[in-house]
Amino acid sequence: MNAMVAPPSGLRLRRAPTLPVARLVIGKRVEEVEALLPRIFSLCRNAQTAAVQGALGRLDATRVPPALRGIAEDMLRDNLLKFLQSWPRLLGLTPRDLDILHAPPDWIALSLFGSAGRLPTRPADMTAFLGSGRGIAPVLAGIDAAFGPGHGVADSLPLASTANAWDRGVDNGPAARHATRPAMAALEVLGRGPLWRALGRAYDTESALRCALPAIHCPAPGTAIVPATRGAYAIRIAQKEGIVTEFERITPTCSLLAPGGVADRALASLPGGAEDRAPLLLDILDPCTPVQLEATDGSPIPHPDPVRDAAPAEEASDA
């Protein structure tokens, strides 16, 4: 039976059962697990690979830069799909071609962020950028206009960090990585709403272009925390004589879809009659597991133009 997540607003998420990843890998040789996980989960493949290698102690200093470059490539591809294709369609804007992915990073930055080739950091400059019509500004401005004050907001949860990487009750998304930037901090005062989250993804895109992502962190033997498109990905592996004996993974979607988590809070803050905006909100939250929006009567709310990956569920419950 599918698990249910039911926010007080009346909108709810029906999600598919998650894969029992621990049961799939415990008892296998570490070499098998290293090869298996990136094949099971096609989303964020390079983050999956780096996390497993880090947890197994196979990510030495010479392999970290290539691993981060791979993660940056995944992040750039996934984010451009949102900014140029998925979100414009949901906003009624004209999508842009994804051939930009093959351009040099400096050219991509100019195309996305305007003549400066960088996103503004000061609130006043960000306001000017949103009204400029340049690059991805119309998409961000469209998201801002689509939601009223306090709508689609999920506040109060601790922001994800390496210190709480194993806690599902956190706000683990791209915006958490950039929350201290002045423009982000100014938006957060108004609530962690759709624009705050989309802007965090825009800053991530800039970081990916410069390959300036957070470091891969291995706080203890058998553990690794890596940056990924949707937030921070943590993995813990115990082994004995080359055989996996314990396994745990925490993905951004674990936190996003946790009871009382970001998705619950964001949907609960939508006013009555806002079903037309719920698909856009869900696409901004971006769970990497199949979910279905439903109204209170159980009728599905269709995604107007889903641009989803058909891969197996990324978030896994080991229960």
Cβ-contact 243, 27 below 8 angstroms: yes
Beta-sheet strand order (sheet of 291-294): 3-5, 12-15, 291-294
From CA 306, how far away is CA 289, in angstroms rounded? 13
Tell me the pLDDT of the chain (319 aa) as tens digits. 334 443 445 677 777 777 788 888 999 999 998 888 888 777 788 999 999 999 999 898 889 999 999 999 999 999 999 999 999 999 999 999 999 999 999 999 999 999 999 999 999 999 999 999 999 999 999 999 999 999 999 999 999 999 999 999 999 999 999 999 999 999 999 999 999 999 999 999 999 999 999 999 999 999 999 999 999 999 999 999 999 999 999 999 999 999 899 998 999 898 887 778 999 999 999 998 888 887 766 677 765 544 443 333 444 433 3
3-state secondary structure 117-186: CCCCCCHHHHHHHHCCCCCCHHHHHHHHHHCCCCCCCCCCCCECCHHHCCCCCCECCHHHHCCCCHHHHH
Cβ-contact 147, 193 below 8 angstroms: yes
Predicted pLDDT of residue 302: 67
Cβ-contact 107, 162 below 8 angstroms: no
Cβ-contact 54, 27 below 8 angstroms: no
Predicted pLDDT of residue 3: 40
User: What's the distance, CA 207 to chain centroid?
Assistant: 14
Predicted pLDDT of residue 36: 86
Which residues have a Cβ under 8 Å from the Cβ of 65 and sit 6 or more positions away? Answer: none
Which residues have a Cβ under 8 Å from the Cβ of 240 and sit 6 or more positions away? Answer: none
Cβ-contact 170, 158 below 8 angstroms: yes
Instruction: Kindly state the DSSP code that residue 99 receives in the 8-state scheme.
Output: G
Predicted pLDDT of residue 296: 66
- CA dihedral in degrees (305, 110, 184, 132; nearest 10)? -80
From CA 135, how far away is CA 108, in angstroms rounded? 10
3-state secondary structure 47-85: HHHHHHHHHCCCCCCCCHHHHHHHHHHHHHHHHHHHHHH
The domains of the chain, with CATH numbers, are 31-290 (1.10.645.10)
